[in-house]
Structure 1
C-alpha cells in the first residue's frame, strides 16, 4: 500500500489523488484553542491525583498508551525505544508529561503529554486513558490539566491533532473550547501498490 498526505483538504489535491489512483483513507483535524480567552477551573475529583512524569512511570505510560491506542496506526505502536527517542527531543519536558492516578488502584489510569512549539504556542501532544478507566471524565480532566500547565507557562494558543471520526475525543475538545477550521484538515490518501 502507498500513502500520501495532503496538508489541506483542497479540491486540487483530491483531483490529483484520484488521477493517481489514490482514495481518501483518513482525515486528521487540527483544532485550536486560545488560552488567553480563559480556561475552566481544574477541579480534581476525590481520590484522583495528577502529577508530572517520573522515570519509573515509563512502563505504565507504555501500558496505558498501548491499551488506549490499540487500533491507532501510529501512536499504538509506541514502544520503549520510541518513547526514549521522543524523550530525547529538545522539546521534551518531563514536567509537561502529566500522569493520573486513582487512590487504591495500582498503576496509572491516564496521561497527557504536552508539547511547546514556542513561548506562546503549545500542543496537546497525546492524551491517553486506560480503557478500564474510561467513562469517568479522565480524558477531559487530563486535557484541562495540560492546558493549565501550558497556559501557566505562557502559551496563549494550544493546538492538537485528532482523527476527524474520533467523536468522543472531538466532543471533549469542543467542550473545552477547541475549534476546527476547514483549512486545518489533513487528508491521507492511499492506493494499493499492486494496482
Structure 2
C-alpha cells in the first residue's frame, strides 16, 4: 500500500507506505519530507520454548471501565489508542474476527492491571495463518515487574495452543522499551509501515490498529 496527499499547489505533504522501502525514503527526502511515524510488524515462530503460569481469564462486560482506564493510561501518548471510549471498545468487539476467549485480562488483588487481546488472521495466499497480539497493556502503576512479558507469553501460548505457528504484533518504533522486550523474546522485524510529512507534522492517526 502506498498513498500520497498533495496540497492545492500539488506539493507532496504526506506519504504513506506499507511496507516501506528505501526507495520510499529517498522519494520522501527528495520532496522535503521527514519520517513522522513508523510502525514495525514483528513476527516470531511458535510455540515458545517456555511457558508462563500467569493467572489470566477472558474479558467480560464488567471489565469495561477497568479496561478503558488501563488502556487510556497506558496509551496516553499513542495516536490511535489513547482516549478510547465504550463505543471504541464495542466497535472492535463487533468485528467478525473478535473471539472473546482471545481477550485475556490479569488481576492483582481484584484490580485489572493488564490485558492481552489476541487476533487470528487466516491464511491468505503466501501468508500463513497468523496469531496477533492485537493490543497489550499494563497499568502504569504495575510497570517494572515483568507483567508485560508475562502477558505477551500468555497471549502467544493461547495462539499456539490453537495450532498457530507464527506470532505477530505491531509496535511503534519510538516505543524503545517495548521493541527491546519483544526482540529479547525472539521477535524480528517483518515489515515497516511508515509515514513522511513536513517537519513538525503530528503523527497521523490510522485505522490499521
TM-score (norm 1): 0.86
> Which residue does 2:169 correspond to in 1?
160
Counterpart Cα distance in 2 of 1:86 and 1:65: 14
Question: Is 1:132 matched with 2:145?
Answer: no
**1:71-124 CA distances to partner (integer Å, 9 max, x unpaired)?**
011111321111111000001111101001012xx4210100100002731101
Q: How far 1:3 sits from its partner (Å)? A: 4.0
Question: Is 1:43 matched with 2:53?
Answer: yes
Counterpart Cα distance in 2 of 1:39 and 1:98: 21
Q: Would the aligned equivalents of 2:34 and 2:199 in 1 still touch at CA under 8 Å?
A: no
> Which residue does 1:99 correspond to in 2?
105
After superposition, residues 75-86 of structure 1 pair within 5 angstroms as: 75-86=81-92
Q: Unmatched 5+ residue regions in structure 1?
A: none
> Which residue does 1:69 correspond to in 2?
75
> Which residue does 1:143 correspond to in 2?
152
Counterpart Cα distance in 1 of 2:41 and 2:104: 22
TM-score (norm 2): 0.81
> Which residue does 1:25 correspond to in 2?
36
C-alpha spacing 1:11/1:177, structure 2 compared with 1 (3 Å) = closer
Highest relative contact order (Cα 8 Å, sep 6+), 1 or 2? Answer: 1
> Which residue does 1:114 correspond to in 2?
118
Aligned length in residues: 185
Q: How far 1:151 sits from its partner (Å)? A: 0.6
> Which residue does 1:9 correspond to in 2?
20
Counterpart Cα distance in 2 of 1:54 and 1:142: 17
Coordinate RMSD, CA, aligned: 2.1
Normalized per residue, the structure richer in helix is 1
Q: Unmatched 5+ residue regions in structure 2?
A: 6-12, 124-128, 202-209
Q: Would the aligned equivalents of 1:39 and 1:148 in 2 still touch at CA under 8 Å?
A: no
> Which residue does 2:62 correspond to in 1?
56
Question: Is 1:190 matched with 2:207?
Answer: no
